[in-house]
Structure 1
Amino acid sequence: MDTKIHLEAGNLRETINEDNSASSQDWVKAMIFIHRHLDEGLKSEISSQLKLCGETITEEDMLEKTFSTFHASNVLLQQQYRERGFTEYNQLISVLLVAEQNNELLMKNH
């Protein structure tokens, strides 16, 4: 419920509806919020449930899905992150979260 309220406040609620028409940039913003606020146990439970449904989710799949959600205006960044050769999803997400925090700090200082 808290997540829905936060997404609604940020005009991102549509991103969690099936067959939505949200932009990839909005989807990424929503996923970053959800990722930050999900309990670690719940994160692994979601992956486990997908595996139980017959879908095997590999690190490569998660990395590719993350790269494919970069906004079209950030193609260069996408390529740079791909070239870093991440092999674990958690490594990439950690780097992206730090980059986001740095960007927020730069914007505040600007």
Structure 2
Amino acid sequence: MSNLNKLDFVALEVSGRNYLKWTQDVKLHLTANKMRSTIIADNITPEDMKARAMIFIRKHMEEALKVEYLAEEDPRSLWVALEERFNHQRAIYLAEARHDWQNIRFQDFKTVNEYNSEICRIRSLLKFCGEELTEADLLEKTFSTFPPSCMVLQQQYRERNFARFSELITILLLAEKRTTTYF
């Protein structure tokens, strides 16, 4: 009986705070269950498939949202209604990610791993919102935000002409291992 209420992922919150992640989870699960077509425009799908998709989507919504959208019987209509209500979250995330990108500095982190994790989070968020950071962007951001006391090392790392950000991070992690600070 407890399996009836078990969720595959976190339910969509009334605030919509988790809308973007929720949509990705729903899309993946609908695709895995061969029901993604139910939320795509101008697609004719059998009624039983639409019903299964509605059950799945509604199961992953907070109770208040279920009540608000009680009249919706078509998964595509529900999908569009939720998108109209919550898709502004993408603009919020984009503004936040741009701000974080502008203000991140290598020298502000205690470890290379902390910096790398934050860079990867920002990069992923920007990509999700339709903006790409290139390898050159990541390398330049790292080099340009080295601590002032490490300018010689920064120049040495620049001269190595790294093609990938991950290569630089590997070198920085190794250097960090050999010392108690970054270098």
Please tell me the residue identity of whatever aligns with 1:92. Answer: L
TM-score, structure 2 length as denominator?
0.36
Distance in 1 of aligned mates of 2:177 and 2:106: 20
Stretches of 4+ aligned residues off by more than 3 angstroms: none
CA RMSD of aligned residues (A): 3.1
Identify if the C-alpha distance between structure 1 residues 95 and 72 changes in structure 2 by more than 3 Å, giving closer, same or farther.
same
Answer 1 or 2: which has greater helix percent: 1
2:147 to 56, 60, 71: 71
- Give the aligned residue type for 1:34: E
Summarize the Cα distance change of 1:33–1:87 in structure 2 as closer, same or farther, 3 Å threshold.
Answer: closer
Structure 2 residue runs without a partner (length 5+): 1-99
* Aligned counterparts of 2:106 and 2:151: Cα–Cα separation in 1: 13
Greater radius of gyration (CA): 2
Q: Is the 8 A contact 1:67 1:78 kept in 2?
A: yes
Q: 5+ unaligned residues in a row in structure 1: which ranges?
A: 1-17, 105-110
Determine what percentage of the aligned residue pairs are the same residue: 48
Hey, what does 1:92 align to over in structure 2?
168
State the alpha-carbon separation in 1 of the partners of residues 122 and 148 from structure 2: 28
Count of equivalent residues: 78
Q: Note the C-alpha offset of 1:33.
A: 4.2
1:86·1:92 contact (CA, 8 Å) conserved in 2? yes
Query: Which residue of the other structure, out of 6, 16, 29, is the alignment partner of 2:110?
Result: 29
Instruction: State whether residues 28 and 69 of structure 1, in contact with CA within 8 Å, keep that contact through their aligned partners in structure 2.
Output: no
* Counterparts of 2:174 and 2:106, CA distance in 1: 20
